[in-house]
A and B are shown apart, each in its own frame.
Chain A
Amino acid sequence: MEPKENIENLFRDTFNGYEEPVRPELWDSIKSQIPTPSAPSSPSGNSGGVTSAASGAKGGLGLGVWGGAAIVAVTASVLYFASPKEEESANVQNSQSTEQAGNIYEDPSQQMEPSNTTAMSMGEESDLQENRSEENTSHSSNSSAVENNSAVQKRAKNNTPVQKLNPSAPVSVTQSGNQRATDQSDPVLLAHAEKTVVENSPTQQKQTPGQVTRENIPDKSATQLKQFELVADPVKGVAPLGVDLKVPAFHGEVVWEFGDGASGFGGSAISHEYEIPGTYTAWASFKDGDGNTHKEPVLVTVEEDDFLKNFIPNVFTPNGDGINDIFTIRSEQLASVDVAIYDRRGKQVARFTDPELGWNGNLGNGEAAPKETYFYVIYATGNDGKVHNHKGTLKLMR
């Protein structure tokens, strides 16, 4: 495989954190189409739902019944009428009166489009997700799972945002055994979830073409859980840190969540690059040969590259007084540098590879850059050939 070089980096770096200004009218439009509380009641009062028939201005979105505060997600039911001819399928969904809020947004006509293989893997996928949520419910009665949990918490004491192991518990508890929760916590997979949901409902008989037939659902309660471990190599290093993640004893498909907001789907070994210093918990979710769902964590610590720190000025005053008038990085220990500077909106304002030139504080059009905080990304190579990448902020003063 050919090495990933500049083009990927260019796009990834440029779009990393990139923002576009949002017109305020967009919010007004969204606001009119989203759920509101059923009543100004206490958070626990899920006494009923309100009916609204707002139909979307764009794209034919509409909504029907909103089932009260979503704490008991299972009771929520939303209808979607894509077009008059879809009413029948919408009614079918209504009769299930279960929890597929959101699935129904998917234009039913699209459901026919993807190939069978697509549908198949999506079906299996949400299956896996569901199993995971069921597993959550059994934590209290499964001592090994509980131990596992606390171990995770101990390892993750550096407190990354990923660590919330329990918020789902109150929801899960309300899910009855047969009513398997449609917990598609991975929304990428939602597009096809409807097919799966249909089969989940005990009352649902009718199938339309393109649906996946679910195979035997394994009974997890009786089987002994196999133990798996997620291994990261290295577990610690300087940013950007490429980490090989692997579940050694397992061969099959794995849903990966890297803890930095990225996720993936692939085999039991995968590589991920952590670009920004921090502590992350990566998760591997998969189903073993016995049909049991596993979700294994590993902690990855990504450190600042101190090597460059010493060479980067922290003051930048391009006012022509001869002191700190250019921003650059100079060291006899560096063979090459490539520095890009971005403003707060993610727009690249300058880039240089010649340390003697650096950045003079002007924008591309020759105007002086405003006094504000900028971000820089430095790709540098040391004389020893070692790559040192660094991201940081730069305060421009005049």
Chain B
Amino acid sequence: MIPDEELAKGCREGDPKAQKQLFDRFSGRMLGVCARYASSSDEAEDILQEGFIKVFFRISSFKGEGSLEGWIRRVMVNTALDQIRKNKSFGKMIDLEVASAEAFAEDHTIESMNAKDLLKLMRTMPPGFRTVFNLYAVEGFAHKEIASMLGISESTSKSQYSRARVYLQKLVETTEKLV
């Protein structure tokens, strides 16, 4: 297997083969990342496309200081955030109703949670909550950073997160039945 650095070098030189290989190597995992931020599979694909176009244009700014995958992933997350901003989703800070979590759970019995199931649960949340939850719980950013990324206050980030957390916890508990 060609090492990541070689692939990055090939892409810097605009080598179509390297570009294809880089896409093949990372696109599956990256679509997995995009899917967490998107409201639908279509939107996830849009983010992936836009993200990879950025990757190929910006590959020269990847200095090999971290892993290539980590860098690409950050491009994807950034693209997802742009997408959400574009849709003005942050304007709609609708509150989360735990009751709706229970209603959802009644219709969906899931025996053991897999990624698809969790995506379904996440997509029942408005984008603002989903984004904060993704950034904090899955990506591991601090609230301060999330606040500056999303242009919201740190306390908004914290309160959105804790509400998202309670909501998901409820959803998971009522939906999940361990084998």
Assuming A14-B115, A36-B16, is B29 touching A183 (CB within 8 A)? no
| Contact call A69/B112, Cβ cutoff below 8 A | no
Q: Mark B102-118, 1 if CB is under 8 A from A, else 0.
A: 00000000011111101
Judge if B5 is at the interface, Cβ distance under 8 Å. Answer: yes
Interface flag for A10 (CB, 8 Å)? yes
**Which A residues lie within 8 Å of B13 (CB)?**
37, 43, 69-71
A87-95, A201-209, A258-266, A318-326: which one contacts chain B? A258-266
Q: Give residues 1-23 of A contacting B (CB, 8 Å).
A: 7-8, 10-12, 14-15, 17-23
Q: Would you call A188 and B58 a contact (CB within 8 A)? A: no
Q: Which of B5, B12, B53, B118 has the most CB of A within 10 A?
A: B53
In the assembly, what is the distance between CA of A31 and CA of B131, in Å? 29
CB of A176 within 8 Å of the partner chain:
no
- Contact between A102 and B54, CB atoms less than 8 A apart: yes
Asked whether, in the complex, the Cβ of B62 is within 8 Å of the Cβ of A185, the reply is yes
Identify which of B28, B46, B114, B165 contacts A22 (C-beta below 8 A).
B28
A-side contacts of B46, CB under 8 Å? 58-59
Q: Is A352 an interface residue (CB 8 A)?
A: yes
Chain A residues in 8 Å Cβ range of B78:
187-191
Query: Is B95 located at the chain interface by the 8 A CB criterion?
Result: no
A351 to B117, CA, bound (A): 15
Inter-chain contact B19/A31, CB cutoff 8 Å: yes
Asked if A20 and B35 make an inter-chain contact with CB atoms under 8 angstroms apart, the answer reads yes
Q: In whole angstroms, how far apart are the Cα atoms of A121 and B149 in the complex?
A: 9
Count of interface residues, chain A, beta-carbon cutoff 8 Å? 88
Instruction: Output the least CB separation between A23 and chain B (Å).
Output: 7
On whether A26 and B45 interact (CB within 8 A), knowing A35-B56, A101-B57, the answer reads yes
A364 beta carbon closer than 8 Å to chain B: yes
Asked whether B116 lies within 8 Å of A10 as measured between CB atoms, the reply is no
Residues of A within 8 A of B15 (CB): 37
Q: B32: which A residues are within 8 A, CB to CB? A: 15, 17-20, 346
On whether the beta carbons of B137 and A266 are closer than 8 Å, the reply is no
Give the residues from 2 to 42 in chain B that come closer than 8 angstroms, CB to CB, to chain A.
4-5, 12-16, 19-20, 23, 27-29, 31-32, 35-36
- How many residue pairs, one in A and one in B, have C-beta atoms under 8 Å apart? 241
Give the chain B neighbours of A185 by CB distance below 8 A. Answer: 61-63, 65, 71
Q: Is B60 a contact partner of A264 (Cβ separation < 8 A)?
A: no
In chain A, positions 313-369 with a C-beta closer than 8 Å to chain B are 346-353, 364
The answer to whether A56 has its CB under 8 Å from any CB of chain B is: yes
Contacts of B56 in A (CB 8 A): 30, 34-35
Assess the A110–B82 pair: CB atoms within 8 A: yes
Q: B77, A162: Cβ atoms under 8 Å?
A: no
Q: How far is the CA of A36 from the CA of B10 in the complex (A)?
A: 11
Residues of A within 8 A of B1 (CB): none
In the assembly, what is the distance between CA of A110 and CA of B87, in Å? Answer: 10
Q: How far is the CA of A313 from the CA of B16 in the complex (A)?
A: 45
Q: Which residue of B lies closest to A69 (CB)?
A: B13
A107 within 8 A of B: yes
Given contacts A185-B71, A265-B141, A347-B115, 15 further A-B contacts (CB under 8 A): A11-B168, A20-B31, A31-B20, A36-B16, A71-B13, A105-B50, A161-B68, A183-B61, A185-B62, A188-B74, A259-B67, A272-B140, A346-B32, A347-B114, A351-B178
Residues of B at under 8 Å CB distance from A?
4-5, 12-16, 19-20, 23, 27-29, 31-32, 35-36, 44-46, 48-50, 52-54, 56-71, 73-75, 77-78, 81-82, 85-86, 111-116, 118, 133, 137-142, 144-145, 148-152, 165, 168-169, 172, 178-179
7 CB-based A-B contacts, threshold 8 Å: A12-B137, A102-B54, A102-B58, A110-B82, A161-B4, A264-B142, A283-B66
Nearest 6 CB-CB pairings of A with B:
A114-B151, A261-B70, A19-B28, A164-B64, A73-B60, A168-B63
